[in-house]
Amino acid sequence: MAYLAFDFETAPATACAPTAFAPVEADALASFSAREWQVIHLARRDRIASPASRLTRLARLVFGLRVANPLADSRLEALRAAAARLWRDTHGLDHARIARLRAQGFSLGQLALLSAWIDARR
């Protein structure tokens, strides 16, 4: 979503309505914290996690396969799972994953930044 910003410098003093507008992106300053960037970088080597079924857990037990534990912070885990999906899949994020990220407090600008950043490095 774009907002309009009134430019007081170039507008005439007698104007009743704003005459000089400049579009400003709502999430133009969207970024991630240093810890979130670390999670995004580490997700490049991670698998896309899915809930483990009984058969999967049995196979891990029998064959000694190790699985990475999810992150303790649910916000960072949602970001890790989305970043791992974007590193592996070129189709982007599905609506359910976007809804999970939005529920964790990530903005659409951050999601666009994440997708563009990973696409540029793939």
* Single-letter amino acid code for the residue at 83: A
Nearest to 78 by CA among 55, 97, 96: 97
**Domain around 12:** 1-29
pTM above 0.75, yes or no: no
* Single-letter amino acid code for the residue at 77: E
Q: Are 75 and 40 within one domain? A: yes
Q: Are 10 and 37 within one domain? A: no
Tens digit of pLDDT at every position of the chain (122 positions) = 444 444 444 444 444 444 443 443 445 567 899 999 999 999 998 766 555 678 877 877 888 876 667 788 899 999 999 999 999 887 888 899 999 999 999 999 999 999 999 999 87
Q: Are 18 and 41 within one domain? A: no
Helix (H), strand (E) at residue 21: strand 21-25
Q: Are 104 and 117 within one domain? A: yes
